Amino acid sequence: MVSNMKLEKMFCMKGGKDQTSYANNCQAQAQHAKSMLHLLKEALDRVQLGPPSMPFVVVDLGCSCGSNTIYIVDVIVNHMEKRYEASGYEPPEFSAFFSDLPSNDFNTLFQLLPNYYTYDGQGGGTMEECLAANKHRSYFAAGVPGTFYRRLFPAKSIDVFHSAFSLHWLSQVPESVLDKRSKSYNKGRIFIHGANESIANAYKKQFQTDLAGFLRARAIEMKEGGSMFLVCLGRTSVDPTDQGGAGLLFGTHFQDAWNDLVNEGFITSEKRDTFNIPVYASSLQDFKEVVETDGSFVINKLEVFRGGSPLVVSHPDDEAEIGRAFANSCRSVCGVLVDAHIGDLLSVELFQRVESRATSHANELIEQLQFFHIVASLTLLIE
């Protein structure tokens, strides 16, 4: 079993560049992010412009290792450059911090970064060799390893915080869920979808505790006049045991694949029961309660946004392609946890069964697998 203490040190999206890596399975997240760009830009329009002599600092929390984070930071920097120019100011220098847990594949991420565009001081510039044709980077970049549920930056140093598709990942599996003596023990399951109310409430409490810690840290780190744009998995049901799209991804076929390993004698039922996905799809009310209780931020926008399917396929009628896309999507985000729990060889067995089951239910998945997101635009409350 992966202990909660080890989770922070080893959890990450699947690195590298193979077919099951996050870098090659984040197209859906890219589409969902692009569909929310108008909401992001609304949030950026609320940011107070500082003096051009001071660097403008952007942070992406939970950056992972694909190109999506680079695209979003480009959008933020370009939008703020235009705001400065429209206000008659010379844009400042921009700095961007890419932050995730220490186990994140920062090497793959940094290889995707184009080189910095260097100015000659006379209005012109020189373009060094870039990794992406006709692209350049107009900001200084750095990686910051660490959990965003604690402090990561100096006080009053950040203008914009952005975090997408990350805050639904909990800092730990609730301890009571793994305790055989607890009424919240999640026996027979690896996720809360369809579990009892006590188990769901344990996950809800952990989510709200984590989000409160996240907000406390950001309130200290943000400059006055700063803004924060957050996106995480959400749900439309008031019932926390109904995790919507997350339930279909991490419950159902994934759950059944674990049961296959038990029934076929590959693992014991106890081994299955000690594995739980540390994810919670929040309701709007869950999220709002934490922000209002914390009291550090003004809510400018808080809504449930329909993101669409996490499956991106070329042929929607190809059941094998859908099954493969489902398994790869699942493996890219939780494969590291599975590998650590049952080992690489059994992990391969597990995801083969995920793919087989998803292929058999391909039509159902294409029709029903939809993600909803909580979208929050927050500004620091100035007293």
Report the SS3 class of residue 95: strand
Please give the model's pTM, rounded to 2 decimal places.
0.89
Provide Rg for the chain, Cα atoms: 21
Q: List the beta bridge partners of residue 232.
A: 374
Identify the three-state secondary structure at position 228: strand
DSSP letter assigned to residue 317: T
Give the 3-state secondary structure of residue 124: coil
Give the model's pLDDT for residue 258. 96
pLDDT value, residue 64:
87
End-to-end CA distance of the chain: 46
**Residue type at position 225:** G
Which residues, given as ranges, of the chain have pLDDT below 50? 1-2, 118-134
Residue 66 β-bridge partners: none
For residue 8, what pLDDT is reported?
Answer: 66
Rounded CA-CA distance 259/106 in Å is: 34
pLDDT for residue 252: 86
Q: Are strands 118-119 and 125-126 parallel, antiparallel or unpaired?
A: antiparallel
Domains of the chain: 4-380 (3.40.50.150)
| CB crowding 155-184: b at 16 or more within 10 Å, else e | eebbbbbbbbbbbbbbbbbbebbbeeeeeb
DSSP string, 23-58: TTS-HHHHHHHHHTHHHHHHHHTTSPP--TTSPEEE
